[in-house]
Structure 1
Amino acid sequence: MPPADNQGSFLNRISIRRNQFSVVEAVNDQELEDLELLQKHVADRFSELLTTNDDSPAEEKSVRPGLQSIAWLRNLLDLFLSCEAEFKTVLIAGRDPSQFSKPPLDRLIPDLLERSVKALDVCNAITHGIDLIQHWQKLAQIVVTALRQSPVGEGQIRRAQKALTTLLTSMFFDDKENTNANFHLKWTDRTRSFGRRFSGAAALHGKDRSSGNNFRSFSWSVAKSWSAAKQIQNMTTNLVAPRGADASGPAVPVYIMNTILVFVMWALVAAIPCQERNGLSTHFQTPRQLGWAQPIISLQDKIGEDWKKKEKKGTLGLLEELQKMEKVANSLAEFTCSFGSPLDNEKAAEVEAQVAEMEEICRRMEEGLAPLQQQVREVFHRIVRSRSEILDVVDQITKISAPAPVSF
């Protein structure tokens, strides 16, 4: 994936236009043009994200990633980095710093800075979630290696069973809400059909259950009371579209950036295992009359509906590769439980196809998770750097407006 071209045509056009106007001429018109370019770019980039494999013509199926896949999330983070660079140019470059101390920026900038701090916590949680997925990928790879042997014997089946037991148990203990008694009963009922036949069946309720908890303790470094869903909800506080005179001023780019920031963090939490995601489907509302926001609203609707379906089942989340891994792992677990009876050609071909599918999932994770995690870190550092740059402007205003010391 090519890095975001933060010095591309958008910024160049802004620079050219600023050179074409004299300082005395319509500054407001210039700001409106810059804002119009930002809104168009946001709309175009999110429209690209909205078109996924599910909607694509057959000839484009191999090119466009599915919604909430690893590749799609990487495109989303690339979009964030690009839009964030353009937002800073519109907000800061060529603007009189004194505007930061006047309405509406004097109120909006502190909100943006506070929202950025909350986003940093989400980035940390997502980084740990990717660590956990990488462990699941390694367990799935063990299953693939064991069942790829020819012929498959009792030793390979036991190895695959152990890896599948640990994988499925760990998957169902990924969220804080999944540790309550009701969910444990649901999980026990679901696994009883094949758990009894595991050679290590007791491990599901003993040793391997603690193994699942060990995965949680290894991954989650945030406080036990921390909630990804509540963090997202807190980020939506005071997120109100500008009205009246503010609807065409500097409040607009701040609102656009806030909306993008919240949406990106919300989409990441919906896809990647995070602590306490219960209630995440109650996402923020964006006014439908805003032209640039239409593709964002469509994505919200799609992801929100998918999340509601998944949340009712108590499953992992929306990452495409994880959903497929869970489905194939359960099917292979059923197969390893019944191993020993003769396999007809149809069943053998089905198992071989499932192993091949799991192998493909592992390959996509192997290739995509490390770059995705690196992008999350890049987003983290970009937010920190931009926050510092805005604070520098605020500090300059404070120093200028401070009364001169009185000498005696």
Structure 2
Amino acid sequence: MPSSDSPGLSMPFATFRRSVFGLGSDRIHSLESNRSPVGQNTEFELFQNKVFKRFHDLSIAKADEFLSLTWVSKLLDALIDCQEEFGVLLCKHKVEISKPPIDKMVLDYFERSIKALDICNATRDGIDMIRLWNKHLDMVLSAFGSQQRIIGEGTFRRARKALTELALVMLDDKGSGSVVSHRNKSFGWHNKGKEQHYRLPGHSRSLSWSVSHSWSATKQLQSIASTVVPPRAHEITETNGLAVPVFTMSFVLMFVLWALVAAIPCQDRSLQIHFSIPRQFSWSTPFYLIHVRIMDESKKRDRRSSIGLLQEIYQLESSVRRITDIVDSVHFPMTEEQKEESKLAVKESTLVCETCRNEMDPLERQLMEVFRKIMSSRIEGLAILGRGN
């Protein structure tokens, strides 16, 4: 997590947001004095501005959108956009980046990007898990049938059976210490080893092959974050300013991965990753804001034990709790008030299911695009560096 001297980490988000945006350009540390004339290249500045604008929009998202599937999709869009712009910069400066010391910096970036692929795979497993929860909740709702069906004892028996199955699935996913995949797939890496299978009452699933059992999202993120260090003044000068966009892209990649793991269940996930958000860059403010908002969300009483801060996970869990309470407390014959409460709970839960069903597949495809972009940009970058083999 960012260092403790970062402004606003101990104050409410609203207060922090006002204080940050009130800093003014004169209060933001600038690299201008450290740059050579070439380092002030307009295209480098445009890249910094793009990063600021994309993440500024994410940082000011309304409360009902922040950490939703829609917001995560925009987060991945921002990463893809920055990756494409960064690739253009590298192509324009082929000669420069093939020379030391910038060649080592670029190579280090591509090594970090390789580690991002495992996180993409683990996140895909998390998407599968949410999809599985949603499928079981849909079965619960199906027990109630259409709004026109008469709700009776048979309805609640079917719903209770489906809820028991869903509870087993949710407890399994929360207690196993790792996220499991129903389809056993990955975007790119293939594990040829055989995995152990296990069975729970009422359903059978196998452990994911996307990442190994010993793999940890926390350790993977920390290994990336520990190598993302702002360039020193002499490094900026020696690289004619190219060190700045290389560091910027490294930080963007690392931060997006951290936010992704915060939102979506991953094997051995934690938000307590040690990294610093450098104040001397013009794009730092949105990242501070996003970080503070995510940490504030994680501290809420009803989110502390959650396996992911995604809004739709919270809504799924809330729907399950509400319907479970109704099923457990119902007495027959039902009163009109109980019938209306049941119908309302089913209606609201159905909307949650529809949102997940409609948005999970596009998000998975987008995550696949991120995976492929990382792979292709690394291949192209290594070719430029003359290290394709």
TM-score band, normalised by the shorter chain?
0.7 to 0.9
Match of 1:13 in 2: none
Give the 3 Å change call, closer, same or farther, for CA 30–247 of structure 1 in structure 2.
Answer: closer
Contact 2:177 2:267 in 1 (8 A): no
Q: 1:135 aligns with which of 119, 132, 135?
A: 132
Once the two structures are superposed, what CA deviation does each residue of 1:269-313 show, in whole Å capped at 9, x if it has no partner?
111111111x32334221123221210121011112323447984
Matched, 1:34 2:43: yes
Matched, 1:115 2:97: no
Matched, 1:364 2:355: yes
Contact 1:174 1:273 in 2 (8 A): no
For 1:13-52, list aligned pairs within 5 A. 29=38, 32-52=41-61
Match of 2:312 in 1: 321
Contact 1:166 1:211 in 2 (8 A): yes
Contact 1:281 1:308 in 2 (8 A): no
Q: 1:124 aligns with which of 110, 121, 126?
A: 121
Secondary structure (helix, strand or coil) at the match of 1:291 reads coil
Once the two structures are superposed, what CA deviation does each residue of 1:99-129 show, in whole Å capped at 9, x if it has no partner?
43311x2331232111111100011111121
Give the 3 Å change call, closer, same or farther, for CA 337–96 of structure 1 in structure 2.
Answer: closer
Match of 1:222 in 2: 211
Alpha-carbon distance between aligned partners in 2 of 1:329 and 1:73, rounded to the nearest angstrom: 23
Greater alpha carbon shift after TM alignment, 345-354 vs 287-296: 345-354
Alpha-carbon distance between aligned partners in 2 of 1:310 and 1:123, rounded to the nearest angstrom: 28
Give the 3 Å change call, closer, same or farther, for CA 66–283 of structure 1 in structure 2.
Answer: farther
Alpha-carbon distance between aligned partners in 1 of 2:314 and 2:41, rounded to the nearest angstrom: 44
Once the two structures are superposed, what CA deviation does each residue of 1:245-286 show, in whole Å capped at 9, x if it has no partner?
334611111111111111111111111111111x32334221
Match of 1:196 in 2: none
Match of 1:384 in 2: 375
Alpha-carbon distance between aligned partners in 2 of 1:351 and 1:71, rounded to the nearest angstrom: 29
Flag structure 1 segments of 5+ consecutive residues without an equivalent: 1-26, 55-64, 180-206, 400-408
Match of 1:164 in 2: 163
Give the CA deviation at 1:231.
Answer: 1.0
Matched, 1:97 2:95: yes
Match of 1:70 in 2: 69
Secondary structure (helix, strand or coil) at the match of 1:294 reads helix
Flag structure 2 segments of 5+ consecutive residues without an equivalent: 1-35, 179-197
Name the one with the larger helix percent: 1
Contact 2:103 2:385 in 1 (8 A): no
Q: Whose Rg is larger? A: 1
Match of 2:188 in 1: none
Alpha-carbon distance between aligned partners in 1 of 2:254 and 2:356, rounded to the nearest angstrom: 25
Match of 1:199 in 2: none
* RMSD between aligned residues: 2.7
Give the alignment's TM-score, normalised by structure 2.
0.77
Q: 1:284 is matched by which residue type in structure 2?
A: F
Give the CA deviation at 1:237.
Answer: 1.8
Give the 3 Å change call, closer, same or farther, for CA 166–285 of structure 1 in structure 2.
Answer: farther
Match of 1:243 in 2: 232
Q: 1:257 is matched by which residue type in structure 2?
A: M
Contact 1:126 1:273 in 2 (8 A): yes
Higher relative contact order (CA 8 A, sep 6+): 2
Give the CA deviation at 1:166.
Answer: 2.4
Give the CA deviation at 1:32.
Answer: 1.7
